[in-house]
Chain A
Amino acid sequence: MNRSTNGLKGILMKHRVIIGLEVHVELKTRRKMFCNCSAQYFGQEPNTHTCPVCLGLPGALPVANRKAIQWCTQIGMALNCSIPSFSKFDRKNYFYPDLPKGYQISQYDEPFCLKGEIAVNGAKIGITRVHMEEDTGKLLHETVDGEKVSLIDFNRSGVPLVEIVTEPDFDNAKNVKAYLQKLQQIVRYLGVSDADMEKGQMRLEPNISISLDENSKSLPKYKVEVKNINSFSFVEKAINFEIKRQLEILERGETPVQETRGWDETKQKTVTQRVKEEANDYRYFPEPDIPPIKWNEKELAKLNESLPELPDEKLNRFIKQYRLSDYNAEILTREIDLADYFEEAVKLDKAVTPKQIANHIINKKVNINNVFPAKLIAEILSSSKIEDVSREDLIKIIKEVLAKNPKIRADYALGNESVLQFAIGQVMYVLRKKIDVNHLRNLIVEELK
């Protein structure tokens, strides 16, 4: 329930904010969805990743990319969806110059994944469906030889796209942002998409409406969709802007117009893009070129088994297994690379506790691409604080070590300073505690004089 002042004049109206989300995620399969062209199109010369199929040439036929279907299904599994044993592709018919076949191959009434849910900040968010479709080409509006032209780059045409639709279960922008972060985290964990917003690999479309009846279960008669948002914080801003804008309209006793709006970051507001008079009629029908997909239980079980450990599971395991704080575990599991790095370091040296490793990584903001886990351990060891070991005890051990290893004294006398390192190691071995290495070194040198 949201009771917002939002700078509104007059009465505080009781209201209920209703937000649902459509998210498109581009899969990082090697090949496109329906042909053998490379799907890695980003930054490539226009129209170099094309063939008769993704150009929609007469007679060319789509053949579904098995891997993409499996990945889409795994996204659904990670979002706790049910996976129907029968699924099919459909044609979504509409005209746009970036759509070379005049229809998009998508899924209509029998998607790969249905009815999931995911917890976000303690709230349960329903997942309506997760389905598979193909990306379109890209229009470029440019001036060539002084003439304004529209150019089409088909490199992106046919790149596998997964659409994840939620129930209208959000009531605030903060949770939407948290959900998006979680979704991004999940697809990255699955290794099915980099979900890089800037490269258009993850696209967000919230739809927002407000009911003045706090307790009504039914949805308002209108909804506003916001498109062209390319960052999580813009989503938050756009939603909060919309809530305020729509409330103002509702307070006047009017109903906001059903429309598609875009987020204008410079003006910090949403702006009208397209007013929908009627719902588009896409004339969906089953795609005759692709036979329906039928799973058997074995195949689904295998897909399920091959799911990696997901963020929530990993988080809980880190807390339990490594006795980390919730805060540390959350940071370490945010990205799978970091989590893996942490675990690798833990395995390396039992003398350093997981907690020490976690603290070091987080506090020192370690760049995991530059610092190998072994080096990390060494850093931790050398920077460790002295434990309470008395000077007398230390000297006692040093004397023992020097007595046992006469070569240390001999070598040092000959000017071999590196032998000190060996001596330090020997003392540490006996001591089995972390102490200030410099302090120890000085003591050893004193003793050798």
Chain B
Amino acid sequence: MTSHNNLTIKKAREGLLKKDFSAVELLNAYLEQIERKNSELNAFITVCKSEALEQAKHADKLLSEGQDLPLLGIPIALKDIYSTKGIQTTAGSNVLKGYIPPFDATVVARLKEAGAVIIGKTNLDAWAHGSSGENSDFGPTKNPWNTDFVPGGSSSGSAVSVSAQMAIAATGTDTGGSIRLPASFTNTVGLKPTYGRVSRYGIVAMASSLDSIGHFTKNVEDSALFLNVTAGNDPLDGTTPTVEVPDYTKKLDKDIKGIRIGIPKEYFIAGMDPKVRENIEKAIKFYEENGCKIEQISLPHTEYAIATYYIIQPAEVSSNLARYDGIRYGNKRKTFGEEAKRRIMLGTFTLSVGYYDAYYKKALKVRTLLIKDFEEAFKKVDAIIAPVSPTLPWKIGEKANDPLSMYLSDVFTVTANITGHPGLSIPTGFVDGFPVGMQIIGPHFKEELLFNLGHRYEQEHKWFERNPYET
């Protein structure tokens, strides 16, 4: 491993612009790391070596011409649920094995326009159904901090690709915590933007009203740089409003004195790992010491969030997966895995005549109440800080036969998906050798504030500088 693999986007860009190294050299460092580590970690389903080399060469050409683009020459991995023109896109399922999209997802197109080098497609729970990465039809992804343990999911491969230095940044999707949870399990920064902030076009849909399109980076500044490229209205996605896109890096260093931070009591539950709790409380202390006003708040309907989520989400899943009917895409319906079948049946049931009112319609009502919870809270505070996961990563296989306990690992993350609020997961250190993270949740379209709060904490602690391979 060369020193290139430690780089953030910002540092890599500096190196490229100063010609300390070329984009091809940079890419090669990451390809070599993939070569070394992927057989063990199983983070990538597809490595786009030749395409990436072409892109890196092109980046070098542009660099030599003095051109500059926000991600020029930066090796980026894509969760294999993002459609890539000419490159297999599986969604982690055998159903789509061999499917080669004829078009790029909007985010992929924007990354390419910004000069990014697409290094590969990362592993995930099939159809993004899962919290551990174990539901992938291409085998589980391993946590680089301890390969007997899960890295969190569903964006398991993307989190691991950044954590294990196989990519500088990676895209993810977060429908119930699928970016924030693996970020907290792998010592990476994971952003779940506001619903609609980033286009969903071309990303295989899981639950359309919950899917949030975000990314993993090493630190907060990179996360802001990345969002500068991906955010904004897309004429191909009717759910992306024309809300202005600021330069997200502008207010990173702003003084955080006086910012009111709410700590929701419902997120510090009895079953929580006490060491994780202690870790998060310590992080909160940082904000207190730096002039933020810490306030205990209540989000009273939190206890209904998981139930609500497991009605709305499977309902939309059952409809979204209907197109894989065995007529197109070459693979029969029996290739669906257990978890997908479970969700198709759950969703089909709750949408059926006679059950719709009792389940789906009621869930929509609770959704409204949950949104009100946050609206009330954001009258009193500017942001909310909570743990991402009540526990540390678990052993591979530990929850595999217990879907309910797997579902409960999302207890702290699903609410922001139901309400559409942005959440930023940031490393807060280590417990028993495993990374831990906190999430900062803000009002709709206030990602800037999350970056500001996250960056100030990170500058003080610099957990991101630690990697699983340091001696």
Q: A residues within 8 Å of B by Cβ?
A: 52, 56-64, 91, 93, 95, 97, 100-103, 279, 281, 283-285, 288-291
**Nearest-Cβ distance from residue A35 to partner chain B, whole angstroms:** 9
Taking A59-B83, A61-B236 as contacts, is the C-beta distance between A289 and B208 under 8 angstroms? yes
A91 engages B319 (CB within 8 Å): yes
A281 engages B83 (CB within 8 Å): no
B238 engages A281 (CB within 8 Å): no
For B89, give its contact among A56, A58, A61, A288 (CB under 8 Å). Answer: A58
Task: Kindly state the separation between the CA atoms of A103 and B321 in the bound complex, as whole angstroms.
Answer: 10
Contact string against A for B residues 77-108, beta-carbon threshold 8 Å, 1 for contact and 0 otherwise: 00001110000010100001001011101000
Task: Kindly state the separation between the CA atoms of A223 and B187 in the bound complex, as whole angstroms.
Answer: 64
Task: Kindly state the separation between the CA atoms of A62 and B208 in the bound complex, as whole angstroms.
Answer: 12
A59 engages B205 (CB within 8 Å): yes
In the complex, which residues of chain A have a beta carbon less than 8 angstroms from the beta carbon of B91? 58
With an 8 A cutoff between CB atoms, is B353 at the interface? Answer: yes
Residue on B nearest A35 in the bound complex, by CB: B236
In the complex, which residues of chain B have a beta carbon less than 8 angstroms from the beta carbon of A58? 83, 89, 91, 96, 99, 101, 204-205, 323
Contact string against A for B residues 195-206, beta-carbon threshold 8 Å, 1 for contact and 0 otherwise: 000001111110
Task: Kindly state the separation between the CA atoms of A58 and B90 in the bound complex, as whole angstroms.
Answer: 10
For B208, give its contact among A93, A97, A279, A288 (CB under 8 Å). Answer: A288
Which one of B202, B322, B356 has the greatest number of beta carbons of chain A within 10 Å?
A: B322
Residue on B nearest A34 in the bound complex, by CB: B238
Taking A52-B102, A58-B91, A61-B238 as contacts, is the C-beta distance between A103 and B322 under 8 angstroms? yes
Taking A285-B315, A285-B356, A288-B208 as contacts, is the C-beta distance between A95 and B239 under 8 angstroms? no
B201 engages A59 (CB within 8 Å): yes
With an 8 A cutoff between CB atoms, is B316 at the interface? Answer: yes
Interface SS of chain A: loop
**Nearest-Cβ distance from residue A140 to partner chain B, whole angstroms:** 14
In the complex, which residues of chain A have a beta carbon less than 8 angstroms from the beta carbon of B205? 58-59
**Nearest-Cβ distance from residue B9 to partner chain A, whole angstroms:** 25
B315 engages A61 (CB within 8 Å): no
Contact string against A for B residues 285-326, beta-carbon threshold 8 Å, 1 for contact and 0 otherwise: 000000000000000000000000000000110110111110
In the complex, which residues of chain A have a beta carbon less than 8 angstroms from the beta carbon of B207? 288
With an 8 A cutoff between CB atoms, is B253 at the interface? Answer: no
Task: Kindly state the separation between the CA atoms of A5 and B356 in the bound complex, as whole angstroms.
Answer: 47
With an 8 A cutoff between CB atoms, is B67 at the interface? Answer: no
B237 engages A61 (CB within 8 Å): yes
Contact string against A for B residues 176-211, beta-carbon threshold 8 Å, 1 for contact and 0 otherwise: 000000000000000000000000111111011100
Task: Kindly state the separation between the CA atoms of A284 and B361 in the bound complex, as whole angstroms.
Answer: 11
In the complex, which residues of chain A have a beta carbon less than 8 angstroms from the beta carbon of B315? 285
B319 engages A103 (CB within 8 Å): yes
Taking A59-B105, A288-B316 as contacts, is the C-beta distance between A101 and B322 under 8 angstroms? yes
**Nearest-Cβ distance from residue A133 to partner chain B, whole angstroms:** 16
In the complex, which residues of chain A have a beta carbon less than 8 angstroms from the beta carbon of B318? 93, 283
Return the 6 tightest CB-CB contacts between A and B, nearest first: A102-B322, A288-B209, A283-B351, A288-B208, A59-B202, A58-B204
A63 engages B105 (CB within 8 Å): no
**Nearest-Cβ distance from residue B76 to partner chain A, whole angstroms:** 18
Taking A103-B319, A281-B352 as contacts, is the C-beta distance between A97 and B203 under 8 angstroms? no
Which one of A59, A91, A290 has the greatest number of beta carbons of chain B within 10 Å?
A: A59
Residue on A nearest B103 in the bound complex, by CB: A52
Q: B residues within 8 Å of A by Cβ?
A: 81-83, 89, 91, 96, 99, 101-103, 105, 200-205, 207-209, 235-239, 315-316, 318-319, 321-325, 327-328, 348, 351-353, 356, 360
Q: List 20 A-B contacts (CB under 8 A).
A: A52-B101, A56-B323, A57-B101, A58-B204, A59-B82, A59-B202, A59-B203, A59-B205, A61-B200, A61-B201, A93-B319, A93-B322, A101-B322, A102-B319, A102-B321, A102-B324, A283-B318, A285-B319, A290-B239, A291-B239
Task: Kindly state the separation between the CA atoms of A52 and B101 in the bound complex, as whole angstroms.
Answer: 9
In the complex, which residues of chain B have a beta carbon less than 8 angstroms from the beta carbon of A290? 238-239
In the complex, which residues of chain B have a beta carbon less than 8 angstroms from the beta carbon of A281? 352-353
In the complex, which residues of chain A have a beta carbon less than 8 angstroms from the beta carbon of B319? 91, 93, 102-103, 283, 285
Residue on A nearest B316 in the bound complex, by CB: A288
In the complex, which residues of chain B have a beta carbon less than 8 angstroms from the beta carbon of A95? 322, 325
A63 engages B235 (CB within 8 Å): yes
Interface SS of chain B: loop
Taking A281-B352, A288-B208 as contacts, is the C-beta distance between A97 and B327 under 8 angstroms? yes
In the complex, which residues of chain B have a beta carbon less than 8 angstroms from the beta carbon of A91? 319
* Beyond A285-B316, A288-B207, 20 extra complex contacts between A and B, CB < 8 Å: A52-B102, A58-B204, A58-B205, A59-B83, A59-B101, A59-B105, A59-B200, A60-B103, A61-B238, A62-B238, A63-B235, A63-B237, A63-B238, A91-B319, A93-B318, A95-B325, A100-B323, A101-B323, A284-B351, A290-B238
Residue on B nearest A91 in the bound complex, by CB: B319
Residue on A nearest B348 in the bound complex, by CB: A283
In the complex, which residues of chain B have a beta carbon less than 8 angstroms from the beta carbon of A60? 103, 201-202
**Nearest-Cβ distance from residue A67 to partner chain B, whole angstroms:** 15
Residue on B nearest A278 in the bound complex, by CB: B353
Task: Kindly state the separation between the CA atoms of A103 and B208 in the bound complex, as whole angstroms.
Answer: 14
Task: Kindly state the separation between the CA atoms of A152 and B416 in the bound complex, as whole angstroms.
Answer: 41
**Nearest-Cβ distance from residue A215 to partner chain B, whole angstroms:** 33
**Nearest-Cβ distance from residue A180 to partner chain B, whole angstroms:** 32
**Nearest-Cβ distance from residue B320 to partner chain A, whole angstroms:** 8
Residue on A nearest B127 in the bound complex, by CB: A58
Residue on B nearest A94 in the bound complex, by CB: B322
In the complex, which residues of chain A have a beta carbon less than 8 angstroms from the beta carbon of B348? 283
In the complex, which residues of chain B have a beta carbon less than 8 angstroms from the beta carbon of A59? 81-83, 101, 105, 200-205
B351 engages A64 (CB within 8 Å): no
B238 engages A283 (CB within 8 Å): no
In the complex, which residues of chain A have a beta carbon less than 8 angstroms from the beta carbon of B83? 57-59
Residue on A nearest B364 in the bound complex, by CB: A286
Task: Kindly state the separation between the CA atoms of A103 and B83 in the bound complex, as whole angstroms.
Answer: 21
Which one of B96, B325, B356 has the greatest number of beta carbons of chain A within 10 Å?
A: B325
Task: Kindly state the separation between the CA atoms of A61 and B105 in the bound complex, as whole angstroms.
Answer: 11
**Nearest-Cβ distance from residue B56 to partner chain A, whole angstroms:** 26
Task: Kindly state the separation between the CA atoms of A62 and B237 in the bound complex, as whole angstroms.
Answer: 7
A289 engages B238 (CB within 8 Å): yes
In the complex, which residues of chain A have a beta carbon less than 8 angstroms from the beta carbon of B209? 288
Task: Kindly state the separation between the CA atoms of A285 and B362 in the bound complex, as whole angstroms.
Answer: 13
Task: Kindly state the separation between the CA atoms of A182 and B203 in the bound complex, as whole angstroms.
Answer: 45
**Nearest-Cβ distance from residue A65 to partner chain B, whole angstroms:** 11
Task: Kindly state the separation between the CA atoms of A388 and B18 in the bound complex, as whole angstroms.
Answer: 104
Task: Kindly state the separation between the CA atoms of A106 and B72 in the bound complex, as whole angstroms.
Answer: 43
B201 engages A285 (CB within 8 Å): no
A100 engages B328 (CB within 8 Å): yes
In the complex, which residues of chain A have a beta carbon less than 8 angstroms from the beta carbon of B321? 102
Task: Kindly state the separation between the CA atoms of A378 and B365 in the bound complex, as whole angstroms.
Answer: 72
In the complex, which residues of chain A have a beta carbon less than 8 angstroms from the beta carbon of B102? 52, 57
Task: Kindly state the separation between the CA atoms of A279 and B323 in the bound complex, as whole angstroms.
Answer: 23
Task: Kindly state the separation between the CA atoms of A260 and B10 in the bound complex, as whole angstroms.
Answer: 66
**Nearest-Cβ distance from residue B343 to partner chain A, whole angstroms:** 14
Task: Kindly state the separation between the CA atoms of A291 and B208 in the bound complex, as whole angstroms.
Answer: 12
In the complex, which residues of chain B have a beta carbon less than 8 angstroms from the beta carbon of A100? 323, 328
Task: Kindly state the separation between the CA atoms of A56 and B319 in the bound complex, as whole angstroms.
Answer: 12
In the complex, which residues of chain B have a beta carbon less than 8 angstroms from the beta carbon of A62? 238
Residue on B nearest A52 in the bound complex, by CB: B103
In the complex, which residues of chain B have a beta carbon less than 8 angstroms from the beta carbon of A64? 238
